[in-house]
Each structure stands twice: as C-alpha cells, then as structure tokens.
Structure 1
Amino acid sequence: MKPIFQGKPPISFFRHKFHSQCSSINPQVVCNSTSSREEFITNILDRRWTLTNPDTKVHQINVSNLQTQHNPGLLGNVTFSNNSNPPLGENLTELHNNQSSFYIIRDDLLHPLVNGNKARKLDALLPLIEDHSGTDVVTCGGCQSAHTAAIAVCCAERGLKAHLLLRGEQPQILTGYTLISMLYGNVTYIPRSVYSNREEMLLSHADSISGTVVRLDDLLTTSFTIHKSTKSNFHNTRPSNLKKIVIVNEGAGDAIALPGLIRLVKYLSEDNKFGKNQPLKIVVDAGTGTTAVGLGIGALCLGLPWEITAVMLADTIEGYRKQEQHLISELCRCSGLPLMHTRLVHWVQRPRPRKFGNVLKGEVEACQQIARETGVLVDPVYTLAGWEVASQLSQEEGKGGAKVVMIHTGGTLGMFGLAQRYKSYF
C-alpha cells in the first residue's frame, strides 16, 4: 500500500523517489554530435508559431517555516510569499538571507483562456494544420478538458472549426472549460462506452463531417521541411469550398506538441533569464507527460545542466516511460535527430497518490492558502502536485546547489468544475 501523508511529507520521501524510480540521476540520453543538436534546434524553431513570442513571466516564491507547530495544514508548517520581479540573469545567484525559495514560470498568464502547457503544445500545432490547408479540427477530452477548450479558442481565433467530443453527459450547469468549449466550438457528448475506443470514435466523427480526413501524425514528417517561418499565412489562399479535417489526439500528446516546449526552454536559457550554466531542477505536473518530455529534449539539445522532474498524475511509471520513448522516437524519426535514450525525465509519484481526477481532503484549503499568500492560483488535480514537490525541493536545496523552478501548466478554470463535483470542499 502506498503511503498517504496527512501533513507535510518528509524530504527523504522525495529524495527516495528520485533515486528509486530513476535508474540514474543523470539522464542516460546520448545525441551523437553537438552539430546535430544545434542543427535540430535551428530547424525545429524555424517555423510559424501560435504565440507571437515565447515570453513568460518568472516569479520567485519564498518559503518560510512557521514557529508554531499547531495544526499544520496539508503543506506543513510553512508560509509563502511572492516576489514578482526577482533578480535573474547575472544577478541570479544573489543570496536572499539563505531563505528557501523556488521560481515559478507563470505560463498560466499567457492567455486568459488558453494558457499553461496547452498554449505551449498548440504553439506549433495550429500553424502546421493551417499550412496543410486544414479547415476543421476534431479532438476529444473529459467534460472539463482544458485541452478541448484550448483547441476551440485557438481554432476560432484562426478561422478554423473545432469539433469537440466530450466524455459523458452534459452537465446541468455549464462552467469552466465545458462552458468555454461550448461557446467556441461544436460540442458533442459521447457515452463512456463509445469514448473508451478513442481512435475509432475520432475517425468516425471526422468522417461524418464530409471532407478529406487526415491524422496529425501524417503531417509530422513534412513539418520539419515545409513548416518554416517564411511560409506565408495560408488564410489568404485556402480554397473556400474544400474541407480538410485534421484529427488531434486527446491532450495533444503528439510529437508535434514538443517544439513549443523546446521553444520555452530556449527562452528560459537566455542570458537575461536563467542562462545556460546555472543548474536547475525543473518541476512540472504530468498528465500525458508530453510537456515534461519536451522540456527534457530542449535541455538536452541545448546542453543545459537542467533536470526535469515530472510528478505523475494519470499513469504508472512504466506507462510514462513508454510514452517518453514513443515521443522521442517519433520526433527523431521526423527530424532525423540521432538520439538514443533510456531516461530523459525523472518520473516521481505525487505526495498523495489517488485515482486521477479525485480531490482529497485539505487540498482545496492548500490551494486557498497559496492563492491568499502569493496571488498564484493552483488547482488540486494538476498544479498543486507540482507546487508541493517544488516547495519541498527548495528546502532541500536552500543552502546552495541547483535552483528549483516550477512550470505553472495553467488549468485554473478547472476549479469551477471541481466546485460542482466536490461541493463539501468549497
């Protein structure tokens, strides 16, 4: 039986997980030559993007121990404060009275509706669909899917039609991502028995739209040769009487989602941010695991001394490692990058394991504490897990060593759906 911590889990718990679940602290990944890596980075970043630029805000969260030990909350006897303008670049190594702290990448602020890792995954995906004359996008997700809402909003902004297959029954009251999906896209609710066979479900629905159906996988190979920054926006030349329907898998967990994360790594490694020499421990919550793999590939190819720690939320470590291998293999096949690997990401358990999507007692109060003390909103299913691990690691690394950095993957509108399902917690 896996341990369930009622309060603050000990540092030794995380240290044990890092060493026991990874065959090596250093990723066993080899790229055959530096020139191959540099050429790969140049090629993969030479394209049009959904985001105008990769900029993001970086905040620093200070972690302070409370003197009292009375009734510690889920996060333990600590309090947080937020420095929204921390020293970076050449001032990054400045000491702050030896206080524990971690940096947080505020990707939740990228867009009011499309933010976090959804924005990064779609950064290269939508222009690729446009450049292959796509007109419609079919995808799927849960009732409160941030992915389907992001697809709907981005497609609407670019003149594409989004067809969203949501698992289960329509709620009596639409809130959060379900509401956004309905407002921006064409929503169909799918019985769970049908949804269980996602591939057949997506293809069947795409066929019903009447047009040429293509899978996103089929566009990957050409994306590294055709999809360049100099290519004109195809909105001006698209035939108005032809439909091309592109199927995007649940969560956009495809290799084409990786360039957006690599672009983020390149931005964060600039001299006026974290630079290329500062050791970092990057912490990210992992749904499909695509975000973590993209960050790991970017760090590897840029030669950065960064470790990627992904908090597993929806699968076993074997499942995540299989997904990691699949994504890297697909990217290498499409780009020609000579990459061999066994471990790229440190996959670790969340402090309180549970069935994916469930909320446990005390987690909403923890999100409330973080929001009130820092102005940062996290959610109990995804980003709270990343915050907990980043907070613990920052206390371990408080007297030197690597800087701890949490990627805020967004998803905060999901709180509305959780408030519907877990009324007693709100």
Structure 2
Amino acid sequence: MKVQRLPNSKTKMAFAAIIMKKAFHSASGQLSNSPQGICNVRMSGEELLSRLLDRKWALTSPDSKIHQIKLFTTTEKHGGGPLGGISFLNNTCPFLGDDMIMRDEDRCFYVVRDDLLHPLVNGNKARKMDALLPLLEDHIVTDLVTCGGCQSAHATAVAVSCAERGLKSHLLLRGEQPQILTGYNLISTIYGKVTYVPRTHYAHRIEMLKSYANLVAGNNGDVVWCNEIFEASLTAQKSRASCLGQMDAHKGIDNCRKKVLIVNEGAGDAVALLGVFRLLQYLSQDHLLGRKRAIKFVVDAGTGTTAVGLGLGAICLGCVPLFNTLLVKLSRGF
C-alpha cells in the first residue's frame, strides 16, 4: 500500500454531485437550472443531505463504536522496523465531544469500528450496501450480478446480503480458481454463485457484466443497472405508500420473471455514497467527533467510493476534513 490521491476521485465527485442535485430537485420541486438555483443547492447542503437520508436502510442504526489508540515510547524493542520501540493502548471508552477538544492528545488516533457491524459484511462494505439493499426489495429484484477480485470483500458482502434476503447473487471473480478456497473467496463460494473470469475478459467490465446479466435474465427477464433504480427512486413523483401499493399489486406478475440488477465493482455506484453520508452525519454529532475541530481521516481505498462519500458529506455538513487515502495495491494472485 502507499499513500496516493485517487486519479478518478474528481470524476466520482462530479457524478455524485449531479445525483445529489437531482435528489434536491425531486424533493423540493423548485430548483432551477440558473446559476441562482445552483447556489441554493450549495447553501442548503445540510438540508439536501437530510432529504437524501430520509429513506429505508439496511442497518437499523448508523451507530459505530469509536476506540482511541494511544501510543507510548518504550525502551524495549518489540520487533524490528520503525514501530519497534512503540507500544499501543486501546481505550474502548474514550473521551469524545468537548472533552476530546479540551484534552487534545497528540499521541493518539481514533478508530471507527465498522468491522463490528456484521460478522461477514463489515467495514465500508456494510455502509455501501446500507441504502442499496432496501431498493432491491422495493424494485422486486431477483438476482444481482457484480464483480471483483478473487478475494473481494465486496463480492462477499453482496453474496451474504443477498442470501440473507433470499436473493441470488452472481459473482464474476477475476483470474483463476485457487486450488484451496480461503478467506473471502471461500465465503463468496458458500453464499453466492461464483464464476471465474480470465483477466483479458475482465478488463472490459461493463461489457462483461452486461453480457452475464442478460444470460441470467433470459428471454423474459429484465436487466437494470444500480444507478437506474437509484435515480428512479429520486425522481419518483408518487408517495412511498402509493408506490408500495403499486408494487404489491404487480408482485404476482413480476415474480414470474427475473429482474437482474448490475452493481459495479466495489459497489462503486452513487447509491453507495448514501451509507457513507449517514455514517458521517452520525460522527459529526457534538458528543462524538463534532464539527469544531479539523479531523484527518485515513481511509484505505480501492474504488475510492468511501473517500468520495466522506468528502461530499463533509462539504454538505460544513465540516471539511483532511484526508489521507491509502490506495490498496494487491498482488497478481488476487
């Protein structure tokens, strides 16, 4: 791993901003295309975020435990390397909010324990699926197609989440099947249908996903992209109750045919940002991290969706943090 800016972060930010403007437009019905209208979006960032987050969620609560890791210099060497003379203390009940500002301890950092959200679907994967999973139920999706590396945590999250809801997941994994299944690869195989794809074919992800989804759907099924159902949920003019009633009326027909949803690699879709927004809104409460001090977030990144979500959410909330993004580089075997 190395610290590096994501080359496509600006593209993702621009795309996400367009989606957010559409959300604001559909919610208020008053946004114009004039410069004055765009300015109103910028000034109403917190209101926009509140409207976006007014929806059903997979996680019952956005809460996450926050631990404080304190660093101590010791005379004893605990192995080689630059951290050989440093000891760590995990404080599971740290002072937060105003107490954190008053103490202002330098030799420490905080860890948001999203790895405790679910035994198998954890970390930012649970956040990315937070807003997506209810949409699968609302749109009566039967099958989900996605892709990733051989040890893809995203593929595992999709497989487990779909299995818990009685849906079928189809996972296109890059490379060859390993002789011994381990880690995320093993879990993906247990909970989903895994297909190994040659790297030359996998390089053309969009065509690969579309082609496989059409095979799953068959002649009578439908194929939709993740961003299509997300935008549909933003631009729908009818009330939720009306929409749900309409879906119930058509369930008999829709259950006879497959509806296949395509989710991009790493859940790199706009809807995945909402779960990250929700997390940041929770963390920005006064009794937790608040908004009164600069917070430097260190985020490991593959597609960069989590980093973009944190950045956009911070802008909307009026607390722009500093970011160090760790771009994960995996060996050829994965």
Q: TM-score, normalised by structure 1?
A: 0.63
Of stretches 224-233 and 179-188 in structure 1, the one that deviates more from structure 2 is 224-233
The structure 2 residue matched to 1:269, chosen from 284, 295, 299, is 284
Call closer, same or farther: CA 1:236–1:291 in 2, change over 3 Å.
farther
- 1:45 and 2:18 aligned: no
Aligned counterparts of 1:166 and 1:71: Cα–Cα separation in 2: 37
Q: Read off the aligned partner of 2:133 and give its amino acid letter.
A: L
1:240 is aligned to 2:255? yes
Unaligned runs of 5+ in 1: 6-13, 19-28, 314-355, 360-420
Helix, strand or coil at the partner of 2:278: helix
Pairing 1:357–2:326 present: no
1:124 deviation in Å?
1.0
Aligned 1:173-192 pairs, distance under 5 A: 173-192=180-199
| Richer in helix (by share) | 2
* Other-structure match for 1:81: 89
Report the CA distance between 1:159 and its aligned residue. Answer: 2.1
Call closer, same or farther: CA 1:229–1:182 in 2, change over 3 Å: farther
Preserved contact between residue 202 and residue 208 of structure 2 (Cα < 8 Å) = yes
- How far did residue 229 of structure 1 move? 7.8
2:224 match = 214
Q: Whole-Å Cα distance in 1 between the matches of residues 73 and 239 of structure 2?
A: 50
Shift of 1:74: 4.8
* Residue pairs, 1:2-401, within 5 angstroms: 32-33=39-40, 35-67=43-75, 72-95=80-103, 98=105, 100-209=107-216, 210=218, 211-226=221-236, 238=251, 239-313=254-328, 356-358=329-331
Superposition RMSD on alpha carbons, in Å? 3.0
Partner of 2:27: none
Equivalent residues of 2:156, 2:185 under 8 A apart: yes
Q: By how many angstroms is 1:103 displaced?
A: 0.6
Q: Counterpart amino acid of 1:274?
A: L
Q: 1:254 Cα deviation (Å)?
A: 1.4
Displacement of 1:219 in angstroms is 2.2
Q: Tell me: CA distance 1:290–1:101, structure 2 relative to 1, closer, same or farther (3 Å).
A: same
1:48-88 C-alpha deviation (Å, 9 max, x unpaired):
11111111000000011223579642535322110011011
1:149, CA displacement in angstroms? 0.5
Task: Give the secondary-structure state (helix, strand or coil) at the position aligned to 1:32.
Answer: helix
SS at match of 1:150: helix
TM-score computed with the length of structure 2 as normaliser: 0.79
The question of whether the paired residues in 2 share the 8 Å contact of 1:295 and 1:308 is answered with no
- Contact 2:78–2:84 (CA<8 Å) still a contact in 1? no
**Code of the aligned partner of 2:159:** A
* Percent pairwise identity: 52
Classify the secondary structure of the residue corresponding to 1:143.
Answer: coil
Q: How far 1:268 sits from its partner (Å)?
A: 0.3
The DSSP-based 3-state class of the residue aligned with 1:283 is strand
| CA deviation map 1:103-150 (0-9, x unaligned) | 100011110000001111111112223222211100011111100000
Matched residue count: 294
